[in-house]
Structure 1
Amino acid sequence: MIRHTGKPLITTALSSVLFAGAFTGPALAQELIEGHLNIIGSASFMPLYAEREMPFWTQTLAEESDGLITADVRPFNAFNEAGLNGTELLRLLQQGVADAATPILSYLAADDPMSEAIDLAGIAPDLASARAVSEAWAPVLDAHFAERNDARVLGVLAYPSGAVG
């Protein structure tokens, strides 16, 4: 998940909602800013979208923020069906069309080869290795996207082999 850094609302929303369990005291007392977010989710044919992303953005976020923060989420393939491919996701974020997105990193590789380095063939032969690679590479991607695209990496997740084509 990446987001454009020109949008302070989502930082407040995500640090308060997604990571609330990791904070105590003053961090939980942070006031939320009321607002509405536009999100580009992952592909709708993936269980991740239907089971995790869509419910988070459309239900959990509003519930956890007492209705202060709401969101519309559209799956990536809705943009793909409109003739856009993965390389445009970062531009859509920079232009303010979306506040956050869940790109498939290999789809960004045509414009940004660094995006695909996390998914080098054979580098992660098992789940534990994939997690270690993701944890090690996420800060590198975050710094790269921050410098190049004024966007921040909020998390890295893996798609199962052969699920995206």
Structure 2
Amino acid sequence: MPSDPQPSRSVVTTSPIGRLELVERGGALVAIRFDASADGSPEHERGGSAVLTEAHAQLAAYFAGRLRVFDLPLRPAGTDFQRRVWDVLAEIPWGTITTYGAIAAELGLPPGASRAVGSANGANPIPVVLPCHRVVGADGTLTGYAGGLERKAQLLHLEGVATEADQDALF
């Protein structure tokens, strides 16, 4: 297997939703991984870069409630369809939610394509920055999140979005 001409670099940071590994390759953020270990993955070097430093700073500001829109160079690896879905994710405003079906409709897909959108959403390699946590089921319930539904709820609460669990607690 040929070596990658652009090796990746990463840093691990702590956050209110656990340890996150930020991965950069070729001057762009390519992944955020949940439950990062301190010793890391063998496929890339540990160490900072300008992109990782900025990603860390922006994530810290987001978690502190001071940042609502990320401004980072991103290069998520995926199919053309996945990237189209992720482009829509990037446009979902802070503090709002949408549904898988609404994204399918925005992409001009036929009814029933919400499952394909959900699959692409689940494959998002840069969660939080590409806010897949802002996508919910048609009935407003929290469904599918690579980091777990508890993290999805935490992120939505951080943005001031009430979840169905909050509604249930009222009644």
TM-score w.r.t. structure 2 length? 0.33
Structure ranking higher in helix proportion: 1
